[in-house]
């Protein structure tokens, strides 16, 4: 876990090796290295990811891009004493625009690619803007939590995502540099998404460290997102959403000791395909009432897909952009977006009573944030809530 200092606990450097292509100096002479398909030919360049517009009705990094970028860095921080939220957020928004445009010198010459920055404010700040606004309530405590005070809650979330693994820490550093001593970092977490598995109609989802496809169910159409994801009002928060972050350690050795059938019973899905145990394809709705000939549920009573099922909970859908992590311990950074915090709290309350997956998890950090509405040059970040 990161403390208030800004020095990473572990740094990774990517080493690049270049290949010299031999050039024939005598006209008419050709070596294997001269040929495009020869052994000395340079590897084809990786296509640059498509840029993501940072301005608009919604902030980038929630529903766009699709699929989500491979790499994420989430930084949770507090505002210093007496710091006004409005001017700070406006500065951060302007920095986001220059980072996305590639004009910020603090990018160190890196092309921005599909870089996205998503900014949210915690309950304490939301209450200063309006105590009844969505996002003003602190998260309740749940079972299987081992969260130190430094890793619970926070005033500000900066979520940075990119296909290029170098960009999130570099962009986050630029934003923290812009904030200076007005921000005090609480904790940060980097994460990576596994290989994408096709789900439905051009949509995909990654595998997690337990080997299962993660994030299959959610509000994936524009209509469903308007209903379950985006805040329609009040006016100051319209176009925003609510985010929950939970960093969870996974007991990989104990889960790996289960047979594949036992692992599938924990999730309620096939490990190889993601298909529900009740049958159908990966995108099929789990049939919770389906039984075997001798009367047993095809999806066990405590399977994760049953306990977290929105219809069974009586709650809305949450959009998940979860990332696997390897420090401070192997696990998962769970991020859910929803327009009603009860979507998350009611779901986890039901899971708390009986969910076969929870005994393999321990939550070590958690917070909730109001993801601010979209912004642009004429509408500074946070200007609908803070002066």
CA distance 176 to 338: 27
CA distance 100 to 186: 25
Query: The domain 50-371: what is its CATH number?
Result: 3.30.70.1030
- Per-residue pLDDT, 255: 98
Domain boundaries, the chain: 50-371
User: Do 46 and 366 contact (CB within 8 A), yes or no?
Assistant: no
Maximum distance among all Cα pairs of the chain, rounded to whole angstroms:
81
- Per-residue pLDDT, 47: 77
Mean pLDDT of 161-190: 98
Distance, first Cα to last Cα, the chain: 33
CA atoms within 13 A on the CB side of 260: 8
- Residues 45-82: pLDDT tens digits? 677 899 999 999 999 999 999 999 999 999 999 999 99
User: Do 289 and 298 contact (CB within 8 A), yes or no?
Assistant: no
- Per-residue pLDDT, 48: 83
């Amino acid at each position: 876990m990161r403390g208030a200092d800004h020095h990473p606990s572990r740094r990774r450097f990517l080493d690049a090796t270049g290949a010299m292509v031999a050039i024939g100096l005598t006209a008419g002479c050709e070596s294997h290295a001269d040929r495009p398909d020869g052994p000395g030919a340079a590897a084809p360049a990786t296509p640059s990811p498509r840029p993501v517009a940072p301005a608009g009705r919604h902030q980038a990094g929630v529903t766009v891009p699709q699929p989500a970028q491979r790499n994420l860095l989430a930084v949770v921080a507090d505002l210093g004493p007496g710091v006004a939220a409005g001017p700070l957020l406006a500065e951060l928004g302007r920095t986001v625009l220059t980072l996305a445009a590639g004009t910020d010198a603090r990018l160190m010459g890196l092309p921005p690619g599909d870089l996205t920055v998503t900014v949210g404010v915690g309950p304490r700040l939301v209450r200063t803007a309006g105590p009844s606004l969505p996002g003003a309530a602190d998260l309740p405590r749940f079972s299987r939590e081992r969260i130190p005070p430094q890793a619970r809650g926070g005033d500000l979330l900066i979520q940075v995502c990119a296909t290029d693994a170098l960009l999130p820490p570099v962009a986050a550093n630029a934003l923290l540099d812009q904030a200076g001593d007005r921000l005090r970092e609480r904790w940060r977490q980097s994460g990576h998404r596994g290989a994408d598995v096709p789900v439905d109609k051009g949509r995909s989802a990654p595998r997690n460290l337990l080997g299962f496809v993660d994030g299959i169910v959610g509000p994936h159409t524009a209509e469903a997102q308007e209903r379950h994801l985006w805040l329609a009002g009040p006016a100051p928060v319209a176009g925003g959403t609510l985010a929950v972050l939970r960093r969870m350690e996974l007991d990989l050795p104990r889960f790996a000791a289960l047979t594949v059938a036992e692992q599938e019973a924990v999730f309620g899905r096939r490990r190889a395909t993601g298909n529900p145990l009740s049958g159908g394809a990966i995108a099929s709705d789990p049939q919770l009432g389906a039984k075997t000939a001798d009367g047993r549920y095809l999806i066990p009573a405590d399977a994760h897909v049953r306990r977290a099922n929105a219809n069974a909970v009586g709650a809305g859908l949450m959009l998940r952009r979860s990332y696997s992590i390897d420090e401070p311990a192997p696990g998962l950074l769970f991020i859910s977006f929803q327009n009603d915090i009860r979507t998350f709290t009611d779901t986890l309350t039901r899971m708390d009573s009986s969910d076969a997956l929870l005994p393999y998890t321990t939550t070590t950090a958690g917070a909730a944030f109001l993801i601010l509405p979209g912004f642009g040059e004429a509408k500074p970040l946070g200007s609908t809530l803070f002066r």
